[in-house]
Chain A
């Protein structure tokens, strides 16, 4: 069973909830936690992890290089590049920040002057954790491209661990790394907050989740910062609503001390347990439906 936590908007509480669900599921099942926010991976911190047992650099992208000695300065590559990655500075050169490694420049070059070289664009990190389940995390190096492919790679790594539940913490947004996180999951846990932006972005991520036809549940975080709007989201969610979590400054103390929220004495702990119980029921139903 793969459960992805997503939200569209950033900072709504994805990693907080993903870390909590991982811990709660691990009490009775084998869990693997995946931090799929490879741009800004924070799931480890919510689990109290700052060091990793293993880190492996990986290459999921290439970058072009123009050999100035062979370049005939015809400009074909400059015209063909869709990413604006070719700079015209006297001759032609590649801006590595913009190069997506698609290889089009190489295909059009009549002088055979362009090479594609592999780049180490990120790493996969593993920590066995003191919590009874492993964490697989990824990092796209700042300035590199290919976040979706790093997510695919870390998911492949995660599959190597025996598990009943895989909890995937996705990035914010609805683009490439999020699509790579959501695809192939059995359930989406969507976290929102009662602000117009939170609600609108929930609608955006829902389009992705529905595109992949993934069953979903909704959690309203910090519901009491705007009870009126929260109520609106709750009734909109109907039976999809798995629960609501109040705002508590102690959650911040908990992360400052790198202590998982479910082990902290905060107002959110009991609400998270309720959400977990509902999620368990949902997944039990989903599993039995699948085996029918």
Chain B
């Protein structure tokens, strides 16, 4: 991919990650740059709503899950022993029971089974969608199937599709919008990003969670910059302290405005692009 891959993240939920990602995408696209925006918050994807787009024509994302052949199974229980997720329950002389909501699809059970009684079966884990928002802006949305616990691999797959699209259209930028938090689904979204915007708010909560995501970014060696949203509501000091502690600058402050809340609520963020 020739373009730059950058992330909008933040640790805490509801700080404005998606708002910032969209404003940035629209601004760059207005400047004539080609942009692919990838909504990697697959558990609760929202960018399409904020862009007032409908998501149609899903492309499935599959994962492999164990399927037991009771004819071949000799009830030895080895599968249960190797499962680190404790997703296989076994008692002597009984067939093993699979708790699919705990299964990560790692394959340990079917690799181990001496009787070839466990086979990987493809199951729908999620979907991806592509919208052409305007001449130079594309949106790729990932959405997990409710009940799927392990969403990191879905993020990885959807991001791969966005990278492919970016390559095809010759995008100058791929903007990755992550979910809140710092665990595997966020790590997958951040992988290989050149830069990350940490969108946060001036409260002790924002500061605490920004500290956690900055720690993760440091481990991943991705250079961050802080975007302070709702900058005039609260107290900036804890954020400034975190920023200087990590040697990161606050590059943008977005004040709270009823107008922005309305635009957010009505899928009209393009009117607010001057904020950044």
- Chain B proximity mask over A253-282: 1 for CB below 8 Å, otherwise 0: 101101000000000000000000000000
> Hey, which bits of chain B sit against chain A, CB under 8 A?
11-15, 18, 41, 43-44, 46, 49-50, 64, 82, 84-85, 101, 104-108, 111-112, 144, 146-153, 156, 179-187, 191, 203-205, 208-209, 212-213, 215-216, 219-220, 233-235, 258, 261-262, 264-265, 267
Report whether A9 and B13 are in contact in the complex, using a CB–CB cutoff of 8 Å: yes
The complex places the Cα of A176 from the Cα of B152 at a distance, in Å, of 10
From A10, A61, A178, residue with most partner B Cβ within 10 Å: A10
Provide the bound-state CA to CA distance between A109 and B111, in Å: 11
Chain A residue at minimal CB-CB distance from B264? A195
Whether B105 pairs with A140 at a CB distance below 8 angstroms is no
User: A102: which of B14, B84, B151, B220 is its contact (CB, 8 Å)?
Assistant: B84
Pair B181/A172 contact, Cβ less than 8 Å: yes
Min CB–CB distance A15 → chain B (angstroms)? 8
Q: CB-defined interface of A92-105 with B at 8 Å, one 1/0 digit per residue?
A: 00000110111110
- A256 — which chain B residues lie within 8 A by C-beta? 203-204, 234-235
B149 touches A107 (CB 8 A): no
A 101-126 to B, binary, CB cutoff 8 A, 1 in contact else 0: 11110011000000000000000000
- Report whether A40 and B104 are in contact in the complex, using a CB–CB cutoff of 8 Å: no
**Inter-chain contact total with CB atoms closer than 8 Å:** 198
- CB-contact partner of B107 in A8, A101, A104, under 8 A: A104
Which of B11, B149, B215, B216 neighbours the largest number of chain A CB atoms within 10 Å of its CB? B149
Given contacts A40-B180, A83-B153, 10 further A-B contacts (CB under 8 A): A10-B13, A40-B181, A97-B220, A98-B191, A142-B212, A172-B181, A173-B180, A175-B150, A196-B265, A204-B146
Chain A residues with Cβ under 8 A from B235's Cβ?
256
User: Are B111 and A104 in contact (CB-based, < 8 A)?
Assistant: yes
Q: Which of B146, B215, B265 has the most CB of A within 10 A?
A: B146
Q: How far is the CB of A39 from chain B (nearest CB, A)?
A: 3
Question: What is the CA–CA distance of A10 and B187 in the complex, to the nearest angstrom?
Answer: 18
Q: Please, could you name 24 A-B residue pairs with CB atoms under 8 Å apart, sorted by A? A: A10-B180, A12-B13, A40-B182, A45-B205, A61-B84, A84-B156, A100-B106, A102-B106, A103-B84, A103-B108, A142-B213, A145-B183, A173-B43, A173-B151, A175-B149, A177-B181, A179-B101, A179-B149, A196-B267, A197-B264, A200-B46, A201-B44, A255-B203, A256-B204
